[in-house]
Amino acid sequence: MKMKDVLQATSFRFNKALGQNFISDTNLLKGIVTDSGITPDDVVVEIGTGAGTLTRQIASVAKQVYSFEVDQNLIPVHELSLSGIDNLQVIFRDVLKMKDDEFKSIVGEGEFKVVANLPYYITTPLIMRFLESDLNVTSLTIMVQEEVGRRLVAKPNTADYSAITLAVLLRGEGTITRKVGRNMFYPAPNVDSAVVRIDVDKDKLAGENKALIHKLVRSAFLMRRKTLVNNLNASFGLSKTEAAEKLIAAGLDERVRGEALSLEDYVNLSHQF
Ligand code: SAM
């Protein structure tokens, strides 16, 4: 049964507040699964089951799928769209509100990949929820607003380079795998999208103080047009002279802005604290 027919047959009413823009194009669904690199050995966590179109494609490749959804009005839809898939468990819980232990009690302790066509307003909290946790996530393949996608993979000294770019770089590497026009969704949102894959490397920068580096990054981008000296002065309670000394000791110009610093620069700067 086609997705629109399932939605009609079950009189499903879209909840805009939950970012419900569904995908039914088979080529796109298969493309997302290919981009995620899922193999028959993989446990996959999907966030946002929706009508289950992506879920079905993931389950056709993966070993086991745990798909999290918050809208229980989708239950009748799933009865039509997801029945008979035996390597799938749909869980009506908000992953953002679950503790790691609760999550592990469902998904297990082993490695897993995240795949999601996300409601855009939870993109950043969701990425951070997985990157900052002790959970065994190896990659996240997520549909995001195109401009957010550019931010996730940006280079220093560009308008898109931001705190989230560095948050990703601290723990892995992001790539835009495809752009997706708004007309590929039902109903169509107001913006175009991109699929981004973040490969997670939990050992990256092992031994470095990531919490401090993160704090430096947040401080640097708090007021991105200000110099780093001014931002460090505001967030770390350093005098401007002390802040300038730390920048110089890290091999940086004392008038530099945070948006010009590479990850390596932030790591070097953290050594001065
Ligand atoms: N995966 C489906 C697809 O590709 O067609 C649905 C995508 S839709 C953009 C996002 C889905 O996430 C919606 O079904 C919405 O109800 C669900 N959702 C919203 N907030 C959520 C949350 N915090 N946790 C899990 N699912 C959520």
DSSP string for 69-99: ---GGGHHHHHHHSTT-TTEEEE-S-GGGS-
Is 94's C-beta closer than 6 angstroms to any atom of ligand 1?
yes
Helices (H), 66-209: 75-81, 100-107, 123-131, 146-152, 163-171
pTM of the model: 0.94
C-alpha to C-alpha distance for 192 and 145, rounded to whole angstroms: 6
C-alpha to C-alpha distance for 227 and 127, rounded to whole angstroms: 28
Q: Determine the distance separating the centroid of ligand 1 and the alpha carbon of 165, expressed in angstroms.
A: 24
Is 180's C-beta closer than 6 angstroms to any atom of ligand 1?
no
Is 7's C-beta closer than 6 angstroms to any atom of ligand 1?
no
Position in ligand 1 atom list of the atom nearest CA 49: 1
Position in ligand 1 atom list of the atom nearest CA 116: 1
pLDDT digits (tens, 9 = 90+) for 143-161: 999 999 999 999 999 999 9
Is 145's C-beta closer than 6 angstroms to any atom of ligand 1?
no
**Residue 105 clears pLDDT 90, i.e. is over it:** yes
Which amino acid is present at 152?
L
For the chain, the average pLDDT equals 96
pLDDT, mean of residues 30-59: 98
Which residue, by CA, sits nearest to atom 5 of ligand 1?
22
Confidence of residue 224 (pLDDT cuts 50, 70, 90): confident
Confidence of residue 118 (pLDDT cuts 50, 70, 90): confident
pLDDT digits (tens, 9 = 90+) for 170-215: 999 999 999 999 999 999 999 999 999 999 998 999 999 999 999 9
Q: Select from 16, 22, 56, 144 the residue to mutate for testing ligand 1; criterion: most ligand atoms less than 8 Å from CB.
A: 22
Q: Select from 82, 117, 121 the residue to mutate for testing ligand 1; criterion: most ligand atoms less than 8 Å from CB.
A: 117
